[in-house]
Structure 1
Amino acid sequence: MELGLIGLGKMGGNMAERLRLGGHKVVGFDFNKEATAKLTAAGSVGVNSLEDLVKNMQSPRAIWIMVPAGDPVDETIAKLKPMMQKGDIFIDGGNSNYKDSIRRHDELKKEGFEFIDVGTSGGVWGLKEGYSMMVGGDEDVVEKIRPVLETLAPAPDKGWGRTGPAGAGHFVKMVHNGIEYGMMQAFAEGFAIFEAKKELNLNNAQIAEIWQYGSVVRSWLLDLTAAALKANPELKGIAPYVPDSGEGRWTVFEAIDLNVSAPVITESLIRRIRSREQDNLTDRMLSVMRNAFGGHAMKTE
């Protein structure tokens, strides 16, 4: 199936290559001319304007959007609509909020267009391993892009599925990323405990490799962790600063709204936020209060 792809960063570029290798025609757009030239050289079609993207595709078109969540998605759709025809499909493969995906589906449906939300996981390894895709949208529309999804997935019948109506794909991906926060935090804390037990002279890289085989905690995340520790056992040059891209926050908000207890995901999010505080007022306040009621000594700068 022919596919238009907007956004040729590491993930988008790898997706385009996997589709090309799977026999699909890919027309890719990016402002980066080097990225589009690379795509063309590989045997697909790279363009540097949305107009050329649409012109190089036959209707009904399916255009996969890989841009940052929020306004960029709406702005991209708004620019494309006047050039597209009724029945064309918009696919949001980024990490959008599921509420935005429901809204976009309903708005586009009224105008005669189709919309599918695809929560996509796999990162830079997707070209080799395939992508895990959680798909939301009308069942008949999802069927139209089945060949694309089967090619991008680890196998035609594995690693992807329609999880429900519009918004369901991004909702499932949101919780997926929240779970990821908790798993990462648990591994990080465990290895920090090993590091602190100086008298046993434990080797984090060795332990990670042992766990890769037969252990109940073996996983792709552990494989990546083991490789990182082998390359840089002491994590030299890495600042203790952990960003969050939004999905963990949304997961916590949903848990609260639904009255679902999610302490591990919530605490892992709070810990990421804490890592970015350069001059922590909370800890200084605790020291002041401890001194005030108990006369305990305060460490000064």
Structure 2
Amino acid sequence: MIGLGKMGGNMTARLLRGGQEVVAYDLTPANVKSVQDMGAIPALDLDALISNLAAPRAVWIMVPAGAPTESTIQLLVDRLSPGDIIIDGGNSKWTDSQRRAEMLKDKGLNFVDVGTSGGIWGLTEGYCMMVGGDTQVVESLRPIFEALAPAPSKGWGHVGPSGAGHYTKMVHNGIEYGMMQALAEGFELMRARHELVGDVSQVADIWRTGSVIRSWLLDLTADALLGNPALDELSDYVADSGEGRWTVQDAVELGVPVPVIAASVQTRFYTQQPVSYAGKMLSAMRRAFGGHAVKTIQQPKVEGHVPEVDPLATPGEASTPAGLKGEKQ
């Protein structure tokens, strides 16, 4: 296992619990020490990792997608032997996985792409894995997948050739975006109608049992709302790691409508803006054609500086920066 962060470290622990022998390497020595204490064989570098594995070797990479994964694979190519297997369990783009599979095939190496879901709960609940690659190679790795999965015969499967694992995970994450957005919007609506629904955390808990929309996401939502339904310690900034964008891009390429997923991705972009320029434009246009009042951002006083005056602002218009989009942390 290369990469012992929150996913790779927990996956190593689950493999060890499942009776697998694991050689572990990470750029951070403390991470290696952590899994060594659980029974993993530590490796100080890639050469040590390779020398501790018997042929045919299986090397699982759990590092960030993009350049880190690409560079790790290139470093392994020069160290592995024909018949060895490289497994990418990160969130790589499926087209990169197809390219890497072809490149490694030319060198006599095997490549398996595994779309891995489960997050920080995978250690106890098991990981959902969508596997792409050659059938015979995937079958040789069955004991690993069975140890990582929620059950040996559930929660994982060989979904197709190289690239299929990461493609399926991409679509999975696009669906996840839409489900999360629907829950978020519904709870925001109930909070706005607070005179009817005084405790949204109670509603979340009710929906967990017997409801058509019961789900693990709802369970996590209910836990997050418990004791703090206002979520006042959180910013409304929501990151995206790429899979939602790729899902929408592929849908456009294929001409397949995905309006819910597309809208949820666009909403994430909006949350990531310090201040919405489009929102400013809308405000400026309403002011220009209708003379409507606008809210302006109050500039801090600077010694010797005379603040600019908005000639079209309504006299006495209150400026409320705390209520503006852009209070990001």
Q: What range is the shorter-chain TM-score in?
A: over 0.9
Deviations 1:184-211 (A, max 9, x none): 0000001101111121242111111000
Partner of 1:91 in structure 2? 87
| 2:319 equivalent in structure 1 | none
Match for residue 121 of structure 1 among 113, 117, 122: 117
Q: Which residue of 2 aligns with 1:54?
A: 50
Aligned to 2:313: none
The 3-state SS of whatever aligns with 1:300 is: coil
* DSSP 3-state at the match of 1:198: coil
Distance in 2, Cα, partners of 1:193 & 1:59: 58
Deviation at 1:296, TM superposition (A): 2.6
For the pair 1:28 / 2:24, whether they are aligned, the reply is yes
Q: Which shifted more, 265-274 or 78-87?
A: 78-87
Alignment of 1:1-301 (within 5 A): 5-301=1-297
Q: Distance in 2 between matches of 1:297 and 1:222?
A: 40
Q: Structure 2: where are the runs of 5+ without partners?
A: 298-329
Q: By how many angstroms is 1:21 displaced?
A: 0.8
Maintained 8 Å contact 1:212/1:218: yes
Aligned residues: 297
Q: Give me the CA root mean square deviation.
A: 1.0
TM superposition shift of 1:29: 0.5
Tell me how far 1:281 sits from its aligned partner: 1.4
* Structure 1 unaligned regions, length at least 5: none
Contact 1:27 1:45 in 2 (8 A): yes
1:231 is displaced (CA, Å) by 4.5
Greater shift, 160-169 or 29-38, is seen at: 29-38
Residues in 1 aligned to 2:21 and 2:12: alpha-carbon distance in whole angstroms? 9
Which has a greater percent of helix?
1
Which consecutive segments of 4 or more residues in structure 1 shift more than 6 A? none
- Equivalent-residue separation in structure 1 for 2:227 and 2:287 (angstroms): 44
Aligned letter for 2:189? I
Cα distance in 1 for residues equivalent to 2:267 and 2:63 = 27
Q: CA deviation at 1:293?
A: 2.4
Greater displacement, 274-283 / 115-124? 274-283
Once the 2 structures are TM-superposed, how far is the Cα of residue 300 of structure 1 from its aligned partner?
A: 2.8
Q: Distance in 2 between matches of 1:138 and 1:179?
A: 27
- Conservation of the 8 A alpha-carbon contact between 1:121 and 1:133: yes
Distance 1:231 1:22, change over 3 A: farther
Which has the greater radius of gyration? 2
User: Contact conserved, 1:86 with 1:112, CA < 8 A, in 2?
Assistant: yes
Moved more, 194-203 or 100-109: 194-203
Q: TM-score, structure 2 length as denominator? A: 0.88
In 2: Cα distance, 1:147 partner to 1:219 partner: 29
| Range 280-289 or range 155-164, more displaced | 280-289
How big is the shift at 1:70? Answer: 1.1
Structure 1 window deviating more from structure 2 (10-19 vs 285-294): it is 285-294
- Please give the alpha-carbon distance, in whole angstroms, between the structure 2 residues aligned to 1:260 and 1:161: 25
The TM-score, its normalising length taken from structure 1, stands at 0.96
Cα distance in 1 between the residues matched to 2:224 and 2:295: 35
1:164 maps to a residue whose letter is G
Greater shift in the superposed pair: 229-238 or 156-165: 229-238
Question: Which of 88-97 and 147-156 deviates more?
Answer: 147-156
